[in-house]
């Protein structure tokens, strides 16, 4: 065999080997990507420090600043940032039986097994945001907000249970009971999380943002509805994570203002680092006059009470 023919064969073999190596490398990279945890921010949002901001925004301190070019599904881009398309929309929660039991090891010793019947009611799809609360305050129907971070789509925080209840009454509703909010998250099938029984990842909820595992350095929550992959099948957003939410217990007809004593907050918040805090059975008792950047609320309404 001539030297020229042999050289051409060697060249063809080397070229084929290079193509095969490149193909193998591509398969390995694709497999690693498929096996890795999904991105923390929803499509349409970008990760900036500990925040999920709209595409095109920049971080100004701890704020998502600038006009976004896109936002997560269900949010719209405004000059002030990403906000829900319909922040006051309500969803109907069909009644049923809430069954709470220590079905996983993290619940052992933390919850008392119980079964409670829940009648059909309506619920805010989103946590009450700064824009909704500020409008109520401007009308004189609500207390002046203690904290406004300058992003209308952020959940309002630093409100007491009585202030939250006053807002809900002005909106034609009330705070949900602890049983109602737990049932909205768990559903009649007793879901572990609002979205289902598995899939506890950073993409589905705003949690672990202060000191990991999802981020570090956060000083407040995310835009309401910024994690649509974590919504319940009925369409309720942020029932786990973002901010814990005020509830009131007892007979709804007997509630009077001002409320006193203790009340449960449910759902966990951006500060929590353990899955147990975000489980549908998770709850924590707080003094009703407590103010916290990690506590907000949403309202419940009589069945058939349509969105404004």
Instruction: Name 12's Cβ contacts closer than 8 Å, sequence gap at least 6.
Output: none
Would you report the helix, strand and coil content of the chain in percent, each value rounded to 5?
A: 25, 20, 55
How many whole angstroms separate alpha carbon 100 and alpha carbon 115? 6
Q: Let me know if 276 is exposed, middle or buried by CB neighbors in 10 A (0-12, 13-18, 19+).
A: middle
User: What is the b/e burial string over 172-183, where b = at least 16 CB atoms within 10 angstroms of the residue's CB?
Assistant: ebbbbbbbbbbb
User: What are the CB-based long-range contacts (under 8 Å, 24+) for 162-165?
Assistant: 162/257, 162/258, 162/259, 162/288, 162/289, 164/128, 164/246, 164/296, 164/297, 165/246, 165/248, 165/255, 165/257, 165/259
> Per residue in 46-75, is it b (16+ CB within 10 Å) or e — as a string?
bebebbbbbbebeeeeebbbbebebbbebb
CB 132 within 8 A of CB 87: yes
DSSP state of 22: H
Q: Answer yes or no: are the C-beta atoms of 37 and 205 closer than 8 Å.
A: no
Phi–psi pair at 97, nearest 5 degrees: -105, 125
Burial of 90 (0-12, 13-18, 19+ CB in 10 A): buried
Q: Which of 223, 185, 230, 225 is nearest to 203 (CA)?
A: 230
Looking at residue 23, its pLDDT comes to 41
Q: Are strands 114-118 and 96-100 parallel, antiparallel or unpaired?
A: antiparallel
Residue 10: the pLDDT is 42
Give the pTM: 0.85
pLDDT at position 74 is 97
Q: Over the stretch 57-108, which tens digit does the pLDDT of each residue have? A: 999 999 999 999 999 999 999 999 999 999 999 999 999 999 876 665 555 5
* pLDDT, position 20: 46
The owner of tokens 């921010």 is 41
Q: How many CB atoms lie within 10 A of CB 270?
A: 25
Nearest to residue 94, comparing CAs of 115, 114, 116, 122?
122
Q: Which residues of the chain fall below pLDDT 70?
A: 1-38, 101-111, 250-259
DSSP states of 88-124: T-EEEE--EEEEE---SGGGTTT---EEEEE--EEEE
Distances (CA, A) of 278 to 196, 246, 296: 12, 15, 15
Residue corresponding to tokens 């109907």:
92
For the chain, the maximum distance between any two Cα atoms, rounded to a whole number of angstroms, is 101
């Amino acid at each position: 065999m001539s030297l020229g023919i042999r050289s051409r064969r060697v060249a063809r073999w080397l070229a084929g080997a290079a193509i095969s190596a490149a193909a193998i490398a591509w398969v390995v990279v694709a497999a690693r990507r498929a096996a890795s945890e999904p991105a923390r921010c929803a499509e349409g949002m970008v990760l900036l420090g500990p925040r999920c901001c709209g595409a095109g925004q920049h971080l100004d301190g701890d704020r998502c600043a600038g006009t976004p070019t896109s936002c997560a599904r269900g949010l719209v881009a405004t000059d002030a940032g990403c906000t829900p398309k319909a922040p006051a929309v309500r969803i109907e929660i069909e009644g049923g039986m809430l069954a709470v039991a220590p079905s996983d090891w993290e619940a052992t010793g933390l919850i008392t097994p119980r079964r409670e019947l829940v009648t059909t009611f309506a619920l805010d799809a989103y946590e009450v945001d700064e824009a909704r609360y500020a409008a109520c305050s401007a009308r004189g129907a609500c207390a002046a907000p203690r904290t406004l971070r300058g992003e209308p789509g952020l959940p309002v925080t630093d409100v007491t249970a009585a202030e939250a209840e006053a807002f809900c009454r002005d909106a034609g509703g009330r705070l949900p009971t602890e049983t109602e909010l737990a049932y909205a998250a768990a559903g009649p099938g007793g879901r572990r999380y609002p979205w289902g029984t598995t899939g506890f990842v950073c993409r589905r909820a705003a949690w672990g943002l202060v000191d990991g595992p999802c981020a570090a350095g956060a000083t407040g929550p995310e835009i309401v509805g910024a994690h649509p992959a974590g919504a319940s099948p009925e369409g309720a957003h942020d029932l786990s994570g973002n901010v814990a939410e005020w509830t009131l217990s007892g007979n709804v007809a007997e509630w009077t203002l001002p409320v006193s004593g203790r009340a449960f907050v449910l759902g966990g918040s951006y500060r929590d680092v353990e899955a147990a805090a975000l489980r549908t059975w998770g709850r924590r008792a707080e003094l009703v006059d407590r103010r916290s950047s990690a506590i907000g609320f949403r309202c419940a309404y009589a069945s058939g009470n349509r969105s404004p």
